[in-house]
Structure 1
């Protein structure tokens, strides 16, 4: 197989443009990176999940997904509930009198709980299927057949690079987050974004176009 740079770069650029945004999954990875809790497994999970969905999209799963509006509605409802619960939890953390300072020595939550939360932020968000399966799938399918593997590799590489930078780069902000006030601000942002996303999912599900 001849590896072509152009489709690799096309996949990398499109994936990066779609993934680098303030969203529930990115905020969760950022928070875990700041807490230094299970960063490696979470980064690996997010990267593999994106890669799998991109492969499915380029392989033609996008058309099948578009033909199942009931599944989209179910995902929207489940995602709204999940995000709403985590948004409220973030505001509850923010309200704690002692704040939420965390050091690398803290035990934190279990790996299973962290991966379960990661899975929820990844797969209970209908927009992840729009980005990876439908949009990335359509763009990848438009490539010539010999170029599609390079496109997929480029798209997956962007995902792995982003989550690695986000998860491990977060520790550079560690000194700032030694202050309880910084954690309160972060939790306020997390709570606001997650509740807003939950509301947008419900609006899309039950709105005129839903």
Structure 2
């Protein structure tokens, strides 16, 4: 069952590596070395649960509930707009990496934010549940679970690498302009995703 496992791994990576709100948040937490473990765990576990749900056939329910997706979409637009504006405002006053650490989040706040960024994005249901679920179905009754295992492993590997590997960029972000650029990029990314959600 190596083939469906590898297929799931590569498919999962292709969907998750794209720059998005969740990845930007994990990157930031990794850079300030704050609550990285819990943030990575939430992202990986959430993806695994959604992948299993899609493979189990729950994607059909999601597909037949457009109203629920619309509610999630507009909540996501509101949250991402708030987060994006906040990041841009922080960029105006940002110092070096040490100053960013001064704006530390409590564990609870980090959990709430990463959970919102994960579940208030309707694309997570369309991509992770529907798309991966339908692709897994082509692998047969047993192969689909190997596919799911590969996709979940891709998620775990990516978020672990992003969260804990971010510290390698710390020397680069020790200077004020670099951290300001990162805050601006995160803010613009969040606003772009919010706009995309609003007009689709």
Quick one: which of 11, 14, 21 aligns to 2:11? 14
Q: How many residues align?
A: 200
- Cα distance in 1 between the residues matched to 2:50 and 2:157: 17
Q: 1:153: which partner in 2?
A: 149
Structure 2 counterpart of 1:164, from 148, 160, 165 = 160
Please, which runs of 5 or more residues in structure 1 have no aligned partner?
A: 205-210
TM (norm. structure 2) is 0.96
Distance in 2 separating the partners of 1:34 and 1:146: 40
Q: Which segments of 5 or more consecutive residues in structure 2 lack a partner in the other structure?
A: none
Counterpart of 1:177?
173
CA distance in 2, matches of 1:105, 1:17: 31
Deviates more, 1:53-62 or 1:144-153: 144-153
**Is the CA contact 1:24–1:121 (under 8 Å) kept in the aligned structure 2?**
yes
Which residue does the alignment assign to 2:112? Answer: 116
Question: Is residue 83–residue 195 contact of structure 1 (8 Å, CA) maintained in 2?
Answer: yes
Note closer, same or farther for the CA distance 1:186–1:105 as it changes in structure 2 (3 Å cut): closer
Equivalent position SS for 1:60: coil
Tell me how far 1:87 sits from its aligned partner. 0.3
Question: Residues of 2 paired with 1:13 and 1:89: CA distance?
Answer: 34
1:24 matched to 2:18: no
Q: Is the 8 A contact 1:15 1:155 kept in 2?
A: yes
Taking a change above 3 Å as real, the CA distance of residues 49 and 150 of structure 1, as seen in their structure-2 partners, is same
* Poorly superposed stretches of 4+, deviation over 3 Å: 103-107
Please report how far the alpha carbon of residue 107 of structure 1 lies from its aligned counterpart in structure 2 after TM superposition: 8.2
Which residue does 2:46 correspond to in 1? 49
| CA gap 1:91/1:106 in 2 versus in 1, 3 angstroms | closer
Please give the root-mean-square deviation of Cα atoms over the aligned residues, in Å. 1.5
- Change in CA separation of 1:92 and 1:107 when aligned onto 2, cut-off 3 Å: closer
User: Residue in 2 aligned with 1:86?
Assistant: 83
Higher helix share: 2
Q: Does residue 1:35 correspond to 2:44, yes or no?
A: no
* CA distance in 2 between partners of 1:171 and 1:106 (Å): 17
**SS of structure 1 residue aligned to 2:131:** helix
Structure 2 equivalent of residue 69 of structure 1:
66
Task: Give the equivalent residue in structure 2 for 1:126.
Answer: 122
- Residues 58 and 101 of structure 1: is their aligned pair in 2 closer, same or farther, counting only changes over 3 Å? same
Q: Are residues 197 and 166 of structure 1, via their aligned partners in 2, closer, same or farther at CA, if it must alter by over 3 Å?
A: same
